[in-house]
Amino acid sequence: MPTIPFDPQRRVIEVRVQAISEWEAVLTLLVDTGASMTGIREETLIGLGIDPHAAPRFVRLHTASEVVNVPIVTLPRLEVFGASFAQLPVACLRLPMGLPIDGVLGNDVLSHFWLFVHFRRGLLVAEQVSNFWRRWRFWWQVMRAS
């Protein structure tokens, strides 16, 4: 069961995920429980061999500061918290260049996990929602972290 440390002073949780397309890369994504879907920086997608300009569809995203139309592309595989997601639709994001992340991990992926965040200790515990006994193991890990 993954336990991911983070800086509790920043209150920002970044996770490392593996994106696989024509090329493989380890990405840093911000855990964003307010995002309905996962989004990856346009330059990162291009580096993975995915052309956002050839996207077959667009969606309207409401961000903290504006409403934008963004292309939706398919990521062949995303691995996070020990689980693998195939043919995952992701939003192509235009993030500021100074931002040290490759994108956001949204609820389309996060909803497949039990998540516990211990802000005082700076720990995120993630367990895939799959069966009853694993759920008990998750809560045991949470209690141990407290």
Delimit the domains of the chain by residue range.
Answer: 3-145
> How many whole angstroms separate alpha carbon 55 and alpha carbon 113?
28
Q: Give the torsion through C-alpha atoms of 117, 112, 17, 101, to 10 deg.
A: -60
List the chain pLDDT tens, one digit each, 146 residues.
678 888 888 767 888 888 877 788 899 999 998 899 999 999 999 999 999 999 999 999 887 788 999 999 999 999 998 888 999 999 999 988 888 899 999 999 999 998 888 888 888 988 888 755 666 777 777 777 76
- Architecture of the domain made up of 3-145: Beta Barrel (2.40)
Beta bridge partners of 31: 105
Assess contact for 24 and 18: CB atoms under 8 A: yes
Q: Which residues pair with 8 in a beta bridge?
A: none
Q: Is 72 exposed, middle or buried (0-12, 13-18, 19+ CB in 10 A)?
A: middle
Q: In a 3-state reduction of DSSP, which class is residue 33?
A: coil
Res 110: pLDDT:
93
